[in-house]
Amino acid sequence: MIGFHSLQYISKRDMQQEGFASKINPKVNTIWRYAAWYDCFIPKDQQLSLGEGDTKLQEILTASGGKVYFKREDQNPTGSHKARSVAYRLSLLRQQGKAKAVISSSGNAALAVAAYGVLTGIDYYILVSPDTQIGKLAKLAELASGCSRLHLAVSSRAMRFANYLSAKHGMANLRPSLDDEALVGFESIAYELYEQWQSQGEQHLGHIFTLSSSGSSLLGIKQGFDRLVQSGSLSSVPALHLVQTEDACGMAQAMGAANLGAKTKEYQSQTVRNLGVKQSARTSQVIEAVQQTKGQAWIISWAEIKAQQAWLAHQGIQISWEGCASLAAAVKLGQQAPLADRLGIVCILSGQYYPEVKYDINKLPRLETIQQLEEWVGYS
């Protein structure tokens, strides 16, 4: 594995703001602050927003005394960084005049689509796994019940059915692992970190840890930093670390991350299951991105997630398993060498904590055949 001292760091002298400042809208504090950086021009009257972005960069001293910054993406309006991606993607979808779209999701992306979708006049077909965390599922059902254009169903074949509807009926497939346009909204994390880091007065932005089952958010963040480098605003991209759980770790294994072996008993009985795709179409891109930036891949166990969740609760921070996993990976890096302040470690806390609630999943349509799917969308 790459050691600390061989990494390329972004220093304060790299962070010259003149060129960057000319391409932002200082009057806006959402992802649209950086609209001029995005590939596709979206007019102001087409820019959907619920106040996403401008999330806190919070300094924390770890138990070992090292300094870590948390990028509090759980503070987004729908509770995760997926709000950034969806705000951009649905704005583009509306601008393109699309009538219908579909998404399969383990929870966070679906919640964002449900929240932003009501602003668009487009019909959304949301397919979720029966293993979706019950608190997220209950919130999704609440959002869907308030809008006739939001159609929610449960299926053990959610991803396959979404792909089918996209291929057979031409619906836009919004799953980030399949949709390149979904990466653009994640770029705003890079631009925002660029601004925030200078205001912290730190010397180096060295490492960024993010949990990603498909790698889409990591690629979007890299895309943003790449644009900053290409514009001359930065000389290099910080080391990007891919964090995956023992449930979905194909990319991390492909990069040589230590295999945890048999799944732990704690894992088998907990809601950490089904955090995302098991195999990603973006595997080769993600491996290249991590290697290019001299980052690493990490596989995190349920026990490690649980330990960091307890520690965060001590700090008054209650977030989902996803955010705890990124911190657990940073702690493991610190076991290789001390978490020195100058290294500039940022953990993306990517999801809000949803408590377990009582909700009857049988209230939702259950789709397990193509005929049931066709009847649900009204094509049969």
- Pick from 282, 97, 251: nearest CA to 176: 282
Burial 184-193, CB ≥16 within 10 A → b, else e: bbbbbbbbbb
- pLDDT (0 to 100) of residue 380: 58
Give the pLDDT confidence of 66-116 residue by residue, as tens digits. 788 999 999 999 999 999 999 999 999 999 999 999 999 988 999 999 999
Query: What are 238's two structure tokens?
Result: 């910080």
Q: How far apart are CA 53 and CA 204, in angstroms?
A: 23
User: Are residues 213 and 244 in contact, defined by beta-carbon separation less than 8 angstroms?
Assistant: yes
Q: What is the pLDDT of residues 165-201, one digit of tens each?
A: 999 999 999 998 889 999 999 999 999 999 998 777 6
At 101 the pLDDT is: 97
Whether 267 has a pLDDT exceeding 80, the answer reads no
Per-residue pLDDT, 169:
96
- Which pair of tokens denotes residue 336? 């290789």
Q: Return d(Cα 207, Cα 164) in angstroms, integer.
A: 39
DSSP for 284-299 reads: HHHHHHHHHTT--EEE
Chain segment 136-160, per-residue pLDDT in tens: 999 999 999 999 999 999 999 999 9
Q: List the beta bridge partners of residue 347.
A: 70, 209
Query: What's the mean pLDDT in 14-42?
Result: 85
Please tell me the distance from the alpha carbon of residue 41 to that of residue 35, in angstroms, as a whole number: 7
This prediction has a pTM of: 0.90
pLDDT band with cut points at 50, 70 and 90 for residue 20? confident
Strand residue runs (E) in the chain: 10-11, 57-61, 67-72, 100-105, 123-128, 150-154, 172-173, 204-205, 207-211, 239-245, 297-300, 345-349
Backbone angles phi, psi at 138, to 5 degrees: -65, -40
Distance CA 133, CA 321 (A): 11
Distance (Å, rounded) from C-alpha 136 to C-alpha 62? Answer: 29
Max intra-chain CA distance, the chain: 62
pLDDT tens readout for residues 358-370: 999 999 999 999 9
CA-CA distance, 353 to 133, in Å (whole number)? 10
DSSP 277: -
Where would I find the H helices in 7-127? 18-21, 82-95, 108-117
Please state whether 378 falls in left (phi above 0), alpha (psi between -120 and 50) or beta. left
Domains and CATH numbers, the chain: 4-80+182-349 (3.40.50.1100), 82-179+358-377 (3.40.50.1100)
End-to-end CA distance of the chain: 54
The string of pLDDT tens digits covering residues 35-56 is 999 999 999 999 999 999 999 9
Burial 127-166 (b: 16+ CB within 10 A, else e): bbbebbbbbbbbbbbebbeeeeebbbbbbebbbebbbbbb
Least Cα distance to 242 among 270, 273, 283, 271 occurs for 283
Q: Residue 63's pLDDT band (boundaries 50, 70, 90)?
A: confident
Say if residue 57's pLDDT is above 90.
Answer: yes
**Nearby residues of 22 by Cβ (< 8 Å), 6 or more positions away:** none
**Cβ(206)–Cβ(345) under 8 Å?**
yes
